[in-house]
Amino acid sequence: MKRRSTAALAALAGIVLLLTGCKGGYAEGPAGRVVSHQNTYDSATKTRAYGLTTQNSAGLRTAFRVHITDYDDCPDGADYPACAH
Protein backbone atom coordinates (compact mmCIF):
# COMPACT_ATOMS: atom_id res chain seq x y z
CA MET A 1 0.00 0.00 0.00
CA LYS A 2 2.81 2.42 0.86
CA ARG A 3 4.50 1.78 -2.50
CA ARG A 4 1.27 2.59 -4.34
CA SER A 5 0.76 5.88 -2.48
CA THR A 6 4.41 6.86 -3.06
CA ALA A 7 4.02 6.21 -6.79
CA ALA A 8 0.81 8.24 -6.88
CA LEU A 9 2.50 11.12 -5.06
CA ALA A 10 5.44 11.04 -7.50
CA ALA A 11 3.06 11.06 -10.46
CA LEU A 12 1.15 13.98 -9.00
CA ALA A 13 4.37 15.93 -8.46
CA GLY A 14 5.33 15.34 -12.11
CA ILE A 15 1.96 16.58 -13.32
CA VAL A 16 2.22 19.70 -11.16
CA LEU A 17 5.65 20.47 -12.61
CA LEU A 18 4.33 20.11 -16.15
CA LEU A 19 1.33 22.32 -15.47
CA THR A 20 3.38 25.06 -13.82
CA GLY A 21 5.54 25.42 -16.91
CA CYS A 22 8.79 24.21 -15.41
CA LYS A 23 11.37 24.56 -18.19
CA GLY A 24 14.41 22.72 -16.96
CA GLY A 25 14.95 24.97 -13.97
CA TYR A 26 16.84 27.68 -15.85
CA ALA A 27 16.52 31.21 -14.54
CA GLU A 28 15.07 33.74 -16.96
CA GLY A 29 17.80 35.65 -18.74
CA PRO A 30 18.05 39.42 -19.00
CA ALA A 31 15.60 41.29 -21.20
CA GLY A 32 16.87 42.45 -24.57
CA ARG A 33 17.03 41.64 -28.26
CA VAL A 34 18.22 38.14 -29.20
CA VAL A 35 21.51 38.47 -31.10
CA SER A 36 22.87 34.91 -31.05
CA HIS A 37 22.01 31.24 -30.42
CA GLN A 38 24.29 28.59 -28.91
CA ASN A 39 23.69 24.87 -29.36
CA THR A 40 26.44 22.66 -27.95
CA TYR A 41 26.55 18.87 -27.98
CA ASP A 42 28.41 16.82 -25.37
CA SER A 43 29.24 13.46 -26.93
CA ALA A 44 30.28 11.94 -23.59
CA THR A 45 26.80 12.39 -22.11
CA LYS A 46 24.91 12.59 -25.42
CA THR A 47 23.14 15.78 -24.33
CA ARG A 48 22.65 19.22 -25.84
CA ALA A 49 22.83 22.59 -24.11
CA TYR A 50 20.84 25.45 -25.61
CA GLY A 51 21.61 29.11 -25.04
CA LEU A 52 20.75 32.61 -26.18
CA THR A 53 22.65 35.87 -26.15
CA THR A 54 20.69 39.08 -25.67
CA GLN A 55 21.76 42.68 -26.06
CA ASN A 56 20.12 45.41 -23.99
CA SER A 57 19.59 49.04 -25.01
CA ALA A 58 22.97 50.03 -23.54
CA GLY A 59 24.72 47.48 -25.78
CA LEU A 60 25.57 44.96 -23.04
CA ARG A 61 25.50 41.38 -24.31
CA THR A 62 24.68 38.50 -21.97
CA ALA A 63 24.76 34.77 -22.76
CA PHE A 64 22.62 32.33 -20.76
CA ARG A 65 21.15 28.82 -20.95
CA VAL A 66 17.54 28.28 -21.95
CA HIS A 67 15.14 25.40 -22.45
CA ILE A 68 14.84 24.12 -26.03
CA THR A 69 11.36 25.63 -26.40
CA ASP A 70 12.70 29.13 -25.68
CA TYR A 71 15.62 28.44 -28.05
CA ASP A 72 13.17 27.50 -30.81
CA ASP A 73 10.66 30.30 -30.09
CA CYS A 74 13.17 33.18 -30.04
CA PRO A 75 14.82 33.84 -33.42
CA ASP A 76 17.57 36.42 -33.85
CA GLY A 77 16.08 39.91 -33.58
CA ALA A 78 13.23 38.85 -31.27
CA ASP A 79 12.59 40.59 -27.96
CA TYR A 80 13.40 38.33 -25.02
CA PRO A 81 11.61 37.31 -22.79
CA ALA A 82 8.47 38.26 -24.76
CA CYS A 83 9.30 35.66 -27.43
CA ALA A 84 9.53 32.85 -24.84
CA HIS A 85 6.21 31.21 -24.10
Predicted model pTM = 0.69
Element (H, E) at 10: helix 2-19
The helix/strand/coil state of 73 is helix
For the domain 24-85, what is the CATH code? Answer: 2.40.50
Strand partners, 5: none
Domain ranges of the chain: 24-85
Confidence of residue 21 (pLDDT cuts 50, 70, 90): very low
CB 42 within 8 A of CB 35: no
Confidence of residue 47 (pLDDT cuts 50, 70, 90): very high
Distance between CA atoms of 49 and 63, rounded to whole angstroms? 12
Give the residue from 48, 47, 46, 80 showing the smallest Cα distance to 63: 80
